[in-house]
């Protein structure tokens, strides 16, 4: 892999803040983008007005991957993959539009718990575990 | 916070197609890559083998992925496939917040093509 040679006018100040990825702000200047690499395994976007993580977190130090309104500035809707192997959908409602289907792998059990036989999809809502009976398509 | 000043001829950001990041006043490789035709952006992490991980935004193949989508470690991921119009959730559990009816029998609210439906929730 070839290295990059960057030539800038003498004394120019570029990409001011540590740990931020740069983007071309003008013809001869790099500026801070929203992307921020906190450690060698942790990339995220930051709301520059609040300093909070907002948008995307890709943290391979602990195995946390998040996308959406992470700091609750708006409605607080976001998707999160957590280190314990959960996929978390945080929002008031789940919308399926057009002809979209959802494929879920894992979380399906054949169980008789609660007196319900057959295949069920397991869900955790606000910390409480439920199951939804699955019918043949 | 240190500003970066680069003199003429400085060698920085050693790896092709890898976005740079300002670390202590020097450009080094970040975990973020781009394809050379600008059709995809993805992340990889040092020391991991088995494929990309974290995020993969691929406009050519119309696939948008988050998490461990190549099953490098535990395989929990979300994959949006805009060719087949599918959303794929890979994980041990699906966890949601909100949307539960406050009536004796609980339902999960779900909106399909603009119409609201309820999925009956059974005790686990």
Residues B27 and B74 occupy one common structural domain = no
Q: ipTM score here?
A: 0.79
Residues of A in contact with B108 (CB under 8 A): 94, 123, 125, 130, 132
* Mean pLDDT within A6-30: 73
Q: Please indicate whether, in this complex, the C-beta atoms of A19 and B16 are within 8 angstroms of each other.
A: no
Residues B40 and B8 occupy one common structural domain = no
- What is the pLDDT, as a whole number, of residue A75? 86
Residues B106 and B79 occupy one common structural domain = yes
Residues B88 and B45 occupy one common structural domain = yes
Which of A30, A35, A105 has the most B C-beta neighbours within 10 Å, making it the best mutation to test the interface with B? Answer: A105
d(CA A62, CA A85): 11
pLDDT higher than threshold 60 for residue A113:
no
Domain range for B13: 1-34
Q: Please indicate whether, in this complex, the C-beta atoms of B93 and A12 are within 8 angstroms of each other.
A: no
For A85-108, the pLDDT digits (tens) are 888 888 766 666 655 566 666 555
* Mean pLDDT within A118-125: 73
Rg from Cα positions in chain B? 21
Residues B47 and B16 occupy one common structural domain = no
Average pLDDT, chain A: 78
Q: Long-range contacts of range B60-67, CB-CB < 8 Å, 24 or more positions apart?
A: B66/A58, B66/A65, B66/A67, B66/A79, B66/A81, B67/A65, B67/A81, B67/A87
- What is the pLDDT, as a whole number, of residue A98? 57
In this complex, is the C-beta atom of A85 within 8 Å of any C-beta atom belonging to chain B? Answer: yes
* A67 vs B95, higher pLDDT: A67
Residues B41 and B100 occupy one common structural domain = yes
Residues B55 and B76 occupy one common structural domain = yes
Contact pairs from chain A to chain B, CB under 8 Å: 267
The list of chain B residues with pLDDT below 70 reads 1-11, 92-94, 96-105, 113, 124
- What is the pLDDT, as a whole number, of residue B103? 45
pLDDT higher than threshold 80 for residue A133:
no
Domain tally for chain B? Answer: 2
């Amino acid at each position: 892999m070839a290295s990059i040679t960057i030539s800038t006018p003498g004394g120019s100040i570029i990409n001011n803040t540590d740990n931020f990825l740069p983007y071309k702000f003008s013809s001869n200047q790099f500026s801070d983008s929203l992307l921020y690499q906190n450690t060698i395994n942790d990339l995220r976007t930051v709301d520059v007005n609040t300093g909070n993580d907002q948008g995307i977190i890709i943290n391979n130090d602990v195995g946390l991957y998040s996308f959406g309104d992470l700091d609750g500035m708006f409605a607080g809707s976001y998707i999160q993959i957590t280190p314990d192997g959960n996929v978390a959908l945080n929002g008031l409602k789940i919308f399926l539009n057009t002809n979209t289907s959802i494929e879920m792998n894992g979380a399906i059990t054949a169980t008789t718990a609660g007196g319900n036989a057959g295949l069920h999809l397991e869900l955790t809502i606000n910390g409480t575990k439920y199951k939804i009976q699955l019918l043949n398509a | 916070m240190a500003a970066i000043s680069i003199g003429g001829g400085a060698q920085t950001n050693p790896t092709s197609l890898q976005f740079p990041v300002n670390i202590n006043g020097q450009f080094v490789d970040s975990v973020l890559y781009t394809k050379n035709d600008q059709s995809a952006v993805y992340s990889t992490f040092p020391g991991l083998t088995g494929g990309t991980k974290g995020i993969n935004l691929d406009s050519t193949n119309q696939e948008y992925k988050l998490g461990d989508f190549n099953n490098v470690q535990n395989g929990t991921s979300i994959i949006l496939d805009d060719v087949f119009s599918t959303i794929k959730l890979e994980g041990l559990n699906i966890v949601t917040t909100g949307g539960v009816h406050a009536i004796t029998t609980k339902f999960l609210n779900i909106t399909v093509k603009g119409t609201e439906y309820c999925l009956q929730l059974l005790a686990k």
